[in-house]
Structure 1
């Protein structure tokens, strides 16, 4: 805490692809004016549309009582205006397997079967939602919990997409995040109520982990009427994970809700010591094990500005650093159009069964293709709208299987797995990075005191009795 001064030191701030990184932390709590003054030095590198949009926003930071809500609203509008120029097409597929286990407690959405039998009315939402759940509580417990959450969430999120599509003005990120959190809490209470009705207590209570991605399309006024802008929201509870994978790098986007993570975040242990604990992988929260008021879903927003693939998976795949050691071979097969997305999903599932066969596995992939880049999906479209295109599965050749699975068993660096290819440093990436930095910085500086007061604490029952890892 109290390291916000890092955001006012240009030498500590670096643009790494689509990410803004801090090379070191500087203690201190600067004013909004100090932040605005630093950002103003970067405007000379911004394109005119960005510079002209940011200047009046930065001017508002000079006042003695700046309206933070108004500043954030304007920053979001500038950011979405830039993202509006990016035309995006998505494709989604998912699958699950029991592995060597007799029962499958994992669940995902959408499966290939659901894609094939979808009604015409469902098609607009199909490439926008992906869900993975990993049940806990044993067969007829975890299996019920994971399937209940998947069914509940996909229905709620499809309704949310319909409601947002009817809006003429974009909703603020905190509103969308609040709606997603509310949907997760509803799903949580469906499972919790079943636990209560069946008299399940303590470790007998069934539950599930969750990772969900939803691509929101919002309408912005433009000179030619209205244009769409796409925002990717990712939410998770437990240790099911989300990765963003491009030909250049693989980034883990989520932090597991487990004992090791809790101890590291609280400052009680260094990472090595926390991960060496016998209960390091025990979950600190899961859907359905308790009331929704004790749940803390993690929700984040991403604006996609590069072609890549979002991977959602249960720990049946992510265990033993399997994603980090295999992603480069996997992404190469897709960008070279060697395999379709459904086949890639099945390849990940097969990899998990071969290398991590001790557990069930669920995988969902959402490919995102920027207009003009046909490396993943040749859409033949110039529209910014999303498509529900699906490709027929193709059988992997022996050479492709060898390329995908490989023989390398050495774990990779867990911080950020990056290939030897130089990251793309386009002006658009720099612009979006600066805008995101400003929004995060202002929200962080202005809201730290509120966060300290209102942040949810770890439920007492979870501090002492962690949920066993599924």
Structure 2
């Protein structure tokens, strides 16, 4: 058996998951004990208003396209989200969002942005919009949805915000757009590379020659992002976009920093994938998430993978 919350293996007679504490005997609402019929279509309990948050999400489109988003070991909830779609046999969509923890409702921001962007991308593709324009339209749609999330302004709270990295893959071209430090990589036997450049304080001061990477990592600002998707960043919510020609067989990997903080170099990711000795996208995605958990799991971890 597996814990329905975090996926950890549990014994048949266990009453609680030793990993995350989730009750394995609760029915309906896990907070007040209401029966299953008290839970509405959106997952809210009609008795106490509690809604179980998604701590681990797995999406399997087929053997080539899949992904996993996991809470990790240190955070109390998962503030990442992913969306995957195959529009037709030659067109695939991958989106990873990482909610900004200092903002209001970062988990809702990530889910809302991911789902809104996916819906907009599908519509744009069906209307034969070019991929770069489709990415821009999708990010704009995601921003509009984020701005509709209720927010009470205060000194210690910011509007719902998230990073985003989104890819459209058509034939042998991947068009990738992003805001923040969620990344896209190309992984293959002899040509692994990072495709995106972080919108982060660390990345920018190193690129400007103001500090070495080792020096920048020691700064309190090391993890600060300089661009994101949110109502407080409307003027900067124009994604960076690249077109990548897929050179051979390999993997397009999108991920949040919960993974790449442990494996920043493309070859490290390539080595991990090679060690799985599998080509199935969900098996590889799970193995990468488990690697991050076993490495400390300090952040939420999200992996989206397309085998090509």
Aligned to 1:205: 159
Aligned to 2:286: 346
Q: Distance in 2 between matches of 1:281 and 1:209?
A: 13
Q: Is the 8 A contact 1:137 1:204 kept in 2?
A: no
Task: Quote how far apart the aligned CAs of 1:213 are.
Answer: 1.0
Aligned to 1:158: 122
The structure having more radius of gyration, on CA atoms, is: 1
| Alignment match of 1:96 (pick from 41, 47, 69) | 69
Change over 3 Å in CA distance of 1:198–1:139 after alignment to 2: closer
Aligned to 1:192: 147
Question: Which structure 2 residues correspond to residues 282-301 of structure 1 after superposition, within 5 A?
Answer: 282-301=224-243
Q: Give per-residue Cα distances to partners, 1:328-381, cap 9 Å, x unaligned.
A: 4333257x5x3521111111111111113111111000111xxxxxxxxxxxxx
Aligned to 1:237: 179
Q: Give per-residue Cα distances to partners, 1:390-411, cap 9 Å, x unaligned.
A: xxxxxxxxxxxxxxxxxxxxxx
Question: Which structure 2 residues correspond to residues 359-370 of structure 1 after superposition, within 5 A?
Answer: 359-368=299-308
| Alignment match of 1:314 (pick from 256, 280, 286) | 256
Q: Is the 8 A contact 1:137 1:205 kept in 2?
A: no
Q: Distance in 2 between matches of 1:299 and 1:271?
A: 24
Q: Give per-residue Cα distances to partners, 1:175-194, cap 9 Å, x unaligned.
A: 53233123202212321342
Q: Secondary structure at the match of 2:145?
A: helix
Matched residue count: 246
Aligned to 1:356: 296
Q: Distance in 2 between matches of 1:231 and 1:202?
A: 43
Q: Give per-residue Cα distances to partners, 1:75-119, cap 9 Å, x unaligned.
A: xxxxxxxxxxxxxxx931111110112210010113xxxx8xxxx
Q: Distance in 1 between matches of 2:179 and 2:88?
A: 27
Q: Give per-residue Cα distances to partners, 1:94-153, cap 9 Å, x unaligned.
A: 11110112210010113xxxx8xxxxxx66279601111111136971100000011101
| Alignment match of 1:177 (pick from 116, 126, 132) | 132
- Consecutive unaligned residues of structure 1, counting only runs of 5 or more, are 1-89, 116-121, 165-170, 217-228, 369-470
Q: Distance in 2 between matches of 1:366 and 1:231?
A: 13
Which structure has more relative contact order (CA 8 Å, sep 6+)? It is 1
Q: Distance in 2 between matches of 1:176 and 1:126?
A: 13
Higher helix share: 1
Q: Distance in 1 between matches of 2:195 and 2:293?
A: 23
Q: Distance in 1 between matches of 2:299 and 2:289?
A: 11
Normalising by structure 1, what TM-score?
0.48
Task: Quote how far apart the aligned CAs of 1:159 are.
Answer: 1.2
Q: Distance in 1 between matches of 2:273 and 2:123?
A: 32
Q: Distance in 2 between matches of 1:142 and 1:300?
A: 27
Q: Is the 8 A contact 2:70 2:301 kept in 1?
A: yes
After the TM superposition, which of the residue ranges 275-284 and 260-269 deviates more from structure 2? Answer: 260-269
Q: Is the 8 A contact 2:103 2:161 kept in 1?
A: no
Change over 3 Å in CA distance of 1:284–1:94 after alignment to 2: same
| 1:133 equivalenced with 2:97 (yes/no) | yes
- Consecutive unaligned residues of structure 2, counting only runs of 5 or more, are 1-62
Aligned to 1:214: 168
Q: Is the 8 A contact 1:127 1:366 kept in 2?
A: no
Q: Distance in 2 between matches of 1:367 and 1:200?
A: 45
| Alignment match of 1:144 (pick from 108, 128, 136) | 108
Task: Quote how far apart the aligned CAs of 1:235 are.
Answer: 1.0
Change over 3 Å in CA distance of 1:214–1:302 after alignment to 2: same
Change over 3 Å in CA distance of 1:102–1:125 after alignment to 2: farther
Cα RMSD, aligned residues only:
2.8
Normalising by structure 2, what TM-score?
0.71
Q: Give per-residue Cα distances to partners, 1:305-349, cap 9 Å, x unaligned.
A: 311101111011011336646424333257x5x352111111111
Higher strand share: 2
Aligned to 2:4: none
